[in-house]
Amino acid sequence: MRLIVTILILLNLMDPLMAKSVTVDANATRETKALYANLKKMASKGVMFGHQDDAVYGHTWKYDAGASDVKSVAGDYPAVFGWELGNLELGRVSSLDSVYFDSVRVRIKEVYKRGGINTISWHVNNPLGGNAWRCNTTEAVKSVLPGGTKQALFRQWLDRLATFLGSLKDDTGRAIPILFRPFHEHTGDWFWWGAKQCTPQEYVALWKYTVNYLIQTKKLHQLLFIYSPASSPDAASYFERYPGDDMVDILGIDIYQYGGEQASNRFVAEVQNALKYMTQAAKAKDKVAVLSETGIESLPIKNWWTEVIYKAVSESDIAYFLVWRNAPDKPGHFYAPYPGQLSADDFIRFKAMKDVYFESQLPLMYK
C-alpha cells in the first residue's frame, strides 16, 4: 500500500496536470489536459473574448487570409474562436453557413499555432428530415438511440464528425484540442433535441451516447465537452438535463440581449444571475464556467462593451464569453464591431481593460 501511494505521489510530481485537471476523457492528450487546467486559471484572472467564425469571414469579406473584423478594430485576434460543423454529417463540403470545412480546418490549425483556443458547435440536421430547427416531432431523439430507426444513420453522422475532428492536427501531427459543444440550447424548443421534443432521460442518453462514441469507439482524445443550455432562471432548470459530472468538462450557457438599449439592465441582471449559480457549481464540481454564446445583433448601443457586457461578466469567474458571427451576406447580422461601426471605439476601450484577454495576451494554454 505504501509503495502504491509513493508511486502516485511521484507520478503527480512528474506530471502536475494529473493532479490539476480531471477531464471527462481519462486518456485526454497532455495538451488537452493542459488547456483545461489553464482555462481554470484564466477564469480566476479575468475573462477571454471570443467570436464565432472570426477568421473565415466578416462584415464585408470572406476567406481573406489573416483577416478579422475584431483585429481590424482592436489590433488583436479574439482569444477564443468559434466554429460550426452543421451539414458535415450529410457529407457536404461546406457548413450551413456556406463555409468550406477545408477552410475551417486550416484556420483552426492557424489559431492553435498562435496559441488561441478553438470551440466547435454542431447544428446537426434532424435525422427524420430537415435541418436542426425542424423540431415538430418528439421522435427524433429516440430514433437515434440504440434500437431506434435512425441509429445506423446517426452512427454514420458521428463517423463523419469524428473523421473531421480527427483531422485537426498541428504541424507535428499532434491532435489539436477542441472545446466541443453539441446539442446546445436544449432547454429551448427550437432544436430537435430541445426540451419539448424529448424527455430529460432521452436527452441525457443522446449526450452520453455521443460522448462515449467519440471517445471510446472513435478514440478521439483531444475533446473537452461543453454543456450549454439556453438562458435558465435558476440552477434547478439549468441542471434538469445535466448528463453528469463524468460527462461534462465545461458549464456553458447561451444568453443574448433582445429589446434594444432599454433591455440592457435586464440583460445584465439575467447574465449575472446565471453566472452566479454556474460559477458556484463549477467551483463545487471542479469544472470551468463560460458564457458560451452572447451578444446583441447589429450592436446598436455605442458603449455596449464597457457598460453592458463587461458589467455582466466582470464579477464572475468565467473563462470566456463568445459573441456570435458577422455574416457577410446579411448586413445587419453581426455581433462584433468592424471599422467604423458604432461601438468600435468602445470595443477598443474594452480590449484595453486589464482583466480582458485577447489572443496575444494569453499565456501558454497548452503547456
CA 46 – CA 225 distance, rounded (Å): 22
Q: Could you confirm whether 139 is annotated as catalytic? A: no
Which residue has 476567406 as its cell numbers?
63
Active site residue 270: no
Distances (CA, A) of 191 to 125, 135, 182, 292: 9, 5, 12, 17
Question: Of the listed 31, 84, 89, 185, which one is catalytic?
Answer: 185
Burial class (CB in 10 A: 0-12, 13-18, 19+), 302: middle
Q: Count the residues in the chain.
A: 367
In degrees and rounded to multiples of 5, residue 205 shows phi and psi of -65, -40
Pick the catalytic residue from 31, 89, 202, 293: 293
List Cα–Cα distances, 51 to 56, 167, 179, 240, in angstroms: 11, 23, 14, 28
Q: Which three cell numbers stand for residue 186?
A: 436544449
Q: How far apart are CA 95 and CA 93, in angstroms?
A: 7
Q: Which amino acid belongs to residue 246? A: D
Active-site residue list: 185, 293
